[in-house]
Structure 1
């Protein structure tokens, strides 16, 4: 505390003040690199979360579209049943055959359209699931990149505490690898 020209602070405050006013290049360089790595890590983390959400949304869309395909196939089956009943009715003596023949033709045409619709839904499901898998792969790349950046930050902290140059270089190498993996994620590789 400060009062009437008398100032008292703890050992931690003294070390921070000393570091701020010293010309320790090693510490300054590590501090700047750690701040840069933390910023890059935040961006990588954002991208990782975004691709994970995208993968989940695509998977959800695939599930909804699967339901649409199943509904179309159920509708197709219902028309098939009606067609079968109309065909059966033709064999009953004394029924109005022309009415059932026109119903049979109508059901055949309706079934064709329903079949095309159901197959289109199934094709869309395959595309959505493939897109989801691609987004999930990209998410894994972002996660690998983020892990490397976090390890690099930890190595930088250890280098700062131990003043070991080889740890500083190791931190830079791991950060570079993390950025390389991020580039792969960015390029969808």
Structure 2
């Protein structure tokens, strides 16, 4: 699982700061105003992407926590359902013994045993209803957990794409390659698209 942390001040960004300073000095002597425009554009782009990435990372961590919470709730419901089925089995055993006692006892004692049989049957139905309800709740929590984990993976993918985009921004500033700048925008767009899919639970 991803840690759900977007390193705004990670290695890419230190490199980006260095590249920005280097590029600014170089542009002052060789490229004039045009080169400075590229540096400012990439710096602004990186600030926006870092902010969006931090939001994506937070959402990724939140969905991961929700997934674990739902999975824990599902496990609790399964344990409770298992306990109810064990209780149901115990009532079934008592009902069987009451039926045998009824069949073997004198006629004047049979009504009392029949009353026990009827009571156990009623209790069994109530216990079975509770057990099935708990099983349904456990299944629902499992489904919620799976959905949250899928969304978590989407946020993690989006965050990773934005981190790669920041790294490309640093390289673009150092090399002054226009295709790297386009690549930076492309990867960031991909990250934004994946983030949109995460927001839409797709």
Identify whether the pair has TM-score above 0.5, normalized to the shorter chain: yes
The whole-number CA distance in structure 1 between the counterparts of 2:97 and 2:174 is: 84
Partner of 2:82: 70
For 1:1-189, list aligned pairs within 5 A: 16=21, 19=24, 23=33, 24-94=36-106, 96-189=109-202
- Bigger-Rg structure (1/2): 1
Q: Structure 2: which 5+ residue stretches go unaligned?
A: 1-16
The whole-number CA distance in structure 2 between the counterparts of 1:150 and 1:96 is: 81
Larger RCO: Structure 1 or Structure 2 (Cα < 8 Å, ≥ 6 residues apart)? 2
Number of residue pairs aligned between Structure 1 and Structure 2: 177
The whole-number CA distance in structure 2 between the counterparts of 1:18 and 1:175 is: 22
Following superposition, the deviation at residue 28 of structure 1 comes to 1.3
Following superposition, the deviation at residue 68 of structure 1 comes to 1.0
Report the more deviating stretch, 119-128 or 171-180: 119-128
* TM-score w.r.t. length of structure 2: 0.81
User: Equivalent residue of 1:188, what SS?
Assistant: coil
User: Equivalent residue of 1:158, what SS?
Assistant: helix
* TM-score w.r.t. length of structure 1: 0.87
The whole-number CA distance in structure 1 between the counterparts of 2:92 and 2:22 is: 84
Check the 8 A contact 2:161/2:190 in 1, yes or no.
Answer: yes
Check the 8 A contact 2:165/2:188 in 1, yes or no.
Answer: yes
Divergent runs of 4+, >4 A? 15-18, 20-23
The whole-number CA distance in structure 2 between the counterparts of 1:17 and 1:149 is: 23
Deviations 1:108-137 (A, max 9, x none): 001011111111111111111111111111
Following superposition, the deviation at residue 176 of structure 1 comes to 0.7
Deviations 1:43-72 (A, max 9, x none): 000011111111111111000000111111
The whole-number CA distance in structure 2 between the counterparts of 1:93 and 1:110 is: 23
The whole-number CA distance in structure 2 between the counterparts of 1:18 and 1:59 is: 50
Deviations 1:30-53 (A, max 9, x none): 111111111111000001111111
The whole-number CA distance in structure 1 between the counterparts of 2:165 and 2:196 is: 17
What RMSD over aligned residues (CA atoms) do the two structures have, in Å?
A: 2.2
